[in-house]
Structure 1
Amino acid sequence: MPSGTKIDFEAIDILSIALPARGEKLLYDARAKGLALRLRASGARTWIAVERTAARTVRTTLGDARHLPLEAAHRLLAAGPQNRSDVANDALFGPDATIAEVLTRFLASGEAGRWKPGTIRNMKAVTKMHILPHFGGHEVRALTPEEVNRWHLDITAKSSAVRMALSTLSGLMLYAEDHGLREPGSNPCRGLRRKQHGKRGQMMSPDAVRRLWAALDRLQDRIPDACDAVRLLFLTGARRSEILSLEWDRIVGARAVLEDSKAGPRTIWLNAPARELLAIRKGTAKGQFVFPAPRSKGPMKVLDRAWTLIRQEGGLGNIRVHDLRHHFASVGVSNGIDLRLIGQLLGHNDIDSTIGYAHLATDALARSASKVSRRIERSLRGDGHGRPVRKRKADPVRILSVKEATHA
């Protein structure tokens, strides 16, 4: 439903209202003038008071609509601005609420289906290890960008979980804004997450790719499932969890259709070598999973030990399994494929997740611009000076084998 619509909130479950694809929208209460439900793409559902004065319209946060009943929102609206605490605190927290106090409810708000169980576990882990020891006693409203920046530099030097820790703290600050504990737009984590990405897309060298494939061939009889899983990761750019948990009935022709992945439902596109590999495995399959666990009924869970062996066999240094996904994306971007299409192939929810490969797209554009410039220059020389450019004899067309195409 469009922003500005009036709704009888007493007759509807507010959790059933669809969130906007991006940004936010306001839905107004048909019974209480000035009460609105603000919906954000981030998942926040917040009661706000919309009050008009002679000079301007003021929007004041009343509280999280998932925890604050409609009746309580009506009472806060009727109380008027003068009788509401500080910035319309929703009575779940006092104006001096600490980060430790708010964190508990923030994490609980995501357990009702908003986040995946694995995400919640990771958030709780970084909360215990990195956030509470540093900021647990801080007042939420008083946390500054300078304090967050020092904390971020400190944990960057100590832990590989820095991205999850920063994301969790940033989400907490947005939650605090929705509850009136901080001014809107005052998130002290703003800007840090984008700065830390740097250039994420890097291609493996052709020699490294050849050594990887040769190592897989040599180890195929010893660890066949792991070798096939690594090949599929390389050929599809899929996440490790998506390949290891893949089920046969999700594969339809050239696609693997996943009901639930890290970013929700998505499709993995299967090229000819990937389909050939799966067809070979299908001939000996006995269960529902493409890569069944060796000693249980579920799928394979880990590749760590096998990947260490593969890296050592191929002399690949400290290349990670996830770097295969980066390589897939980098090859696509470097060959001129649009970032939005790359994002769809990788299963990204938004373009921000793919933007780390933008420098490769710029390189591809620069090469294309050079080719166009050279052709224009040749054309001008031929027309302007009477020296037509000699055409080169075309190279004979040769069809690449599957292995050659894979190595390219």
Structure 2
Amino acid sequence: MRCQNKRRAPHKKLRRAFAYIRFSGGGQSLFRTLKDVEEAPLSSYFGFPPPPNKLCVTVIYIPLMLFGLLGNILTILVVWLRPHMRTSTYLYLSSMAVSDLLILLLLPLDLYKLWRPRPWPLGDLACKLTMFLSECCTFCTILHITFLSLERYLAVCWPITAKTVVTRRRTRAIIGCLWLSAAVSAAPVLVMVGVEDGGGLDGSSNEGRGGETDKRECRCTHFAISSGLLSAMMILSNLYFLVPLCILGVVYSLIGRTLWLRPKSSRRDQSHRNTVKMLGVIVLAFVLCWLPFHRLPSPQLDTYAPPDTHLYFLYYLSQYFNLVSSVLFYLSAAVNPLLYNLMSARYRHAVRSLIRTQSHAQARRMHTLTVHHSTTTL
């Protein structure tokens, strides 16, 4: 009987682990899964190699965060300090850069939760706000890509209408509405997450383990799981991905058809082609990076299933899948400035101009300080 209880323990933990369904708010679910595997390692039961460790995740994330912060800050500065870059397209892209910047600024908290998941040091309000902000920025990025593509559809397929409909003032108003819509859609997260006693996967408190006494975690609450709020939020998250994906497919098919049938001699059409190519690559990167987050839920394990069932192997593989999907999530927030630089000559020239201007301004300030110091000395 004692041996049988030991054998059932990992099944119960694994079954409870599958209850934590991913929704698209940052990488928190990855860190939850990694911690669960540390508490009930499959390698000790089934002879599998160890899952990805914390150091591996950290080594990947830190350069990604630094690169993304630099690129998105540069994009925001280029658009707002260069008047000729304030077109409707680049207004959308700069707002997307703000969203991506906020996502990357939350990454250190995810890393902190990876290395020290408990106790959560910032309180219940900070827990709710950080998760809400992550989900809000996720929705906001999707909406920006969708409306930017619709704006390009008007510019290419209905150019006369676009001249009267697409204006900077109207674009700024639409961007404000997109942020508001994303905030309203993410509002349930404020109820879904909070600081709760983590204990173990089987509900135990693990008292004395590692010298820890405070088990409070920033996590999805039991109320959200039992009430069905988490399931509803996952449906909303999937709709936020699938509906725009269908819209983008139709829009770019119509744009491609229109450009294909037109003569290629027009300079305006050539400009449209370059812009559409850049946006097409951005959309492709978006789909590839975010598709893993919208896979089907993991299967539930039977508590009394034999230990050699294939579900355990699938669960183990999901640890690596979660690692890849979370890396892709943050990669999507960091890669866009690189795509702009590779595919837009206008963006490259604006970046060079901004850097050159700042370098000259710094040199003039240094020269002024040197002359002033020399005059004072004399």
Same topology, TM > 0.5? no
Which has the higher Rg, Structure 1 or Structure 2? 1
Q: What TM-score does the superposition give when structure 1 sets the normalisation length?
A: 0.25
Q: More helix per residue: 1 or 2?
A: 2
Pick 1 or 2: higher relative contact order, CA cutoff 8 A, min separation 6.
2
Q: What TM-score does the superposition give when structure 2 sets the normalisation length?
A: 0.26
